[in-house]
A and B are shown apart, each in its own frame.
Chain A
């Protein structure tokens, strides 16, 4: 430093230095390099070619040969599956933009929504976006809007509690929530709203408060808990209200109901439940209990294969199952493992960090990973071969995007 500082400047520099200590310090240099270097090879070639023009001809010739070879190889590879990837980018002013893009990178459609207070999603036919709105210009509730500029339509007037406690079916067509949140409230049971026509059906027992509503991966069944006096019951029912089965019942205090968690196995045969058993209240011991949904019998986990993903509730929260439930994608510090049901790792992909969310293609041959919160990019990988990922975005999300991406259609 050659320029001297006044006493005030020194004091300012010292204070700024302490303030800057809050900056993110940790970085994995190798992973970051891998992340930033992938898409930039072409510009780097250009710089070098300008510097050594004599080499340019050879580089171009070599690149042409490599390109021909790569082209021939690519021609032998199946293309990425089609469909629509759904990315939500909040604008920092309470609204945001829905981007629908194709896996190959082509922008498909977008629509801007005002006053959104929960993650929006796309209907299964991709015609409409469904979202919760608190826009003062319209009533609160669940709304839908197309991409053609026509005004939004309100599907239902539902309270914010439904937005935070309800559960969308995996295909995004139905919303299940406690009937107690209807207006007027109904004691007990599950209300299922069909987002296409706004119709609400009530299923399940009508006597007790229902919570932890959890759809099976195929969207045909619903597991839930209901509070009985000083006990909790875990039940499962078809989405049309048929085939009601009680799977478990145990002593539990309603004050700790929120600490109960339900998870479906990727193959949908098993359901796991866990209670935190707070404050020494009665209930099952800490840890996951696994029950066979068909027979209703508890699974003795020590008797199962420890590598089978269908017996690993701990894995289900950190991985994303393929649509057919035969594999899971497990992210781990710069890699993504595709693991088969028996625990065998089928493929390991090098990725640019820890993804914010993961979405399988509907046919299970590709996978999309969302990175970044403010600058959202989506890398689309084939799980069939080692071709480089296709990068979508960046989508600027001024308020940070914390909603998962989805991949719909074929």
Chain B
């Protein structure tokens, strides 16, 4: 299974190879292609745009150092997203940081849409905040980055079946929280 949705696989492999060899232009291409995915995953985990931005910058720093160890270039997206997710999780653990969410601002941000959707997002934000960093990471990798259980298992350790079990429990909890 590959995740090289951006461009064809040989081109991706070549970009990864050149970036791993220290070609900064190739690395910038990776940044351009994958930064948004990493930022989205980091944001869902940490819940703060500024902190997410810092997290992704650190993640890119890690990626620069370790890109040479990536065995399958077609997995570069899931590999990068997993680095961002792990860094976001570590930041929450280290700092015990729970960003203060101004719900009025959250409402303003989404005020232009369907009121029902707005409430759903606020509820979603509350539900995410109630999860442990590890659980938020799992949710973000599965439903924001779109990784499957095998890719997640590779990213965070463990087995694919274990990931599926944890996801099932989390879904039950979120279903209860969001349907209340």
Residues of A with Cβ closer than 8 Å to B? Answer: 1-3, 6, 8-9, 12-13, 15-25, 27, 29-30, 32-37, 39-41, 43-44, 47-48, 51, 92, 372-375, 396, 398, 400
The listed residue (A1, A18, A398) touching B117 by CB distance below 8 A is A18
Q: Tell me whether B153 is interfacial, beta carbon within 8 Å.
A: no
- B49 to A29, Cβ gap below 8 A? no
Q: Does B85 contact A (CB under 8 A)?
A: no
Which chain B residues border A372 with CB–CB below 8 Å? 54, 57
Q: Verify if B31 is at the interface (C-beta below 8 Å from A).
A: yes
Across-interface contacts of A2 in B (CB, < 8 A) = 1, 148
Give bound CA distance, A34 to B28, whole Å.
Answer: 9
Nearest 4 interchain pairs by C-beta: A23-B43, A47-B68, A20-B40, A29-B31
| Interface contact A23-B31, CB-CB below 8 Å | no
In the complex, the answer to whether A35 meets B57 with C-beta atoms within 8 Å is: yes
Q: Do the beta carbons of A34 and B24 come within 8 Å of each other?
A: yes
Q: B24 to A9, Cβ gap below 8 A? A: no
- Say whether B79 faces chain A, with CB atoms less than 8 Å apart: no
The interface bits of chain B over 30-43 (1 if a CB of A lies within 8 angstroms of the residue's CB, else 0) are 01100110011111
Give the residues in chain A near B128, CB-CB below 8 Å: 19
Confirm or deny: B158 has a beta carbon within 8 angstroms of a beta carbon on chain A: no
The residue from B41, B53, B121 contacting A24, defined by CB atoms under 8 A apart: B53
**Least CB separation from B120: chain A residue:** A15
Bits for B130-171, please: 1 = Cβ < 8 Å to A, else 0.
000000000110011010110000000000000000000001
**B-chain residues with CB within 8 Å of residue A43 when the two chains form the complex:** 65
- Asked if A19 meets B121 with Cβ closer than 8 Å, knowing A25-B39, A47-B68, the reply is yes
Q: Which residue of B lies closest to A25 (CB)?
A: B36
* A60 → B minimal CB distance (Å): 17
Question: Most chain-A CB neighbours within 10 Å: which of B21, B40, B149, B174?
Answer: B40
B: number of interface residues (CB 8 Å): 59
- Residues 29 to 72 of chain B near chain A (Cβ within 8 Å): 29, 31-32, 35-36, 39-44, 49-54, 56-58, 60-61, 63-66, 68-69
Q: Given contact pairs A25-B39, A29-B35, A373-B54, enumerate 14 new A-B contacts (beta carbons under 8 Å).
A: A2-B148, A13-B143, A18-B117, A18-B121, A32-B57, A33-B27, A33-B64, A35-B57, A37-B27, A39-B61, A92-B95, A92-B97, A372-B54, A374-B91
CB within 8 A of B125: which of A8, A19, A92? A19
Q: Quick one: given A43-B65, A373-B50, A396-B95, are A30 and B43 in contact (CB under 8 Å)?
A: no
Name the residue of chain B whose CB is nearest to the CB of A373. Answer: B50
Residues in B whose Cβ lies below 8 Å from that of A23: 36, 39-40, 42-44, 49, 52
- Which of B28, B50, B178 is the one whose CB lies under 8 Å from A33? B28
- A12 close to B174 (CB less than 8 A): yes
Residues of A within 8 A of B40 (CB): 20-21, 23
CB distance from B140 to the nearest CB of A (A): 8
Q: Within 8 Å of chain A (Cβ to Cβ): is B124?
A: yes
Give bound CA distance, A51 to B148, whole Å: 31
- On whether A398 and B97 interact (CB within 8 A), knowing A15-B124, A24-B53, the answer reads yes
Q: Chain B residues near A16 (CB, 8 Å)?
A: 44, 124, 139-140, 143-144
Give min CB distance, A159 to chain B, whole Å: 26
Residues of B contacting A37 in the complex (Cβ-Cβ under 8 angstroms)? 22, 24, 27, 64
CB closest residue in chain A, given B38: A23
Chain B residues with Cβ below 8 Å from A374 are 50-51, 54, 91
Closest B residue to A15 using CB positions: B124
Min distance, Cβ A403 to any Cβ of chain B, angstroms? 16
CA–CA, A29 and B30, complex, Å: 8
Q: Which residues of A contact B36 (CB under 8 A)?
A: 23, 25, 27
A3 near B148 with CB under 8 A, answer yes
Cβ proximity bits B71-82 to A, threshold 8 Å, 1 near / 0 not: 000000000000
